Amino acid sequence: DHGDVLSVSRELLSVHTVSGGLRRFRLPRKVEVIYDLFNRKVIARDTDNFEVFLPPVSSSLYYTGDASRLSLL
């Protein structure tokens, strides 16, 4: 429990953190791709979980879904 603020929809996960650090996220289903929308990079493929290091006082936004939709983002 880091006091992070999360917002989740079927294909998006946003997180705001004050303390920063390593975070592990588990999704309710396996997805083809996890993509960092702010930094424009693939984080993971074919998984239902991922780890990221978040800087202190930062916000992140991840797309979690079908790889074919990345070109639409």
Check pLDDT > 90 for residue 71: no
How far is residue 5's CA from residue 59's CA, in Å, rounded to a whole number? 9
Give residue-wise pLDDT tens across range 14-23: 999 999 999 9
pTM of the full predicted structure? 0.92
pLDDT at residue 1 greater than cutoff 80 = no
pLDDT digits (tens, 9 = 90+) for 24-50: 999 999 999 999 999 999 999 999 999
Q: How far apart are CA 63 and CA 73, in angstroms?
A: 9
Q: Closest Cα partner for 62 from 39, 32, 29, 45?
A: 39
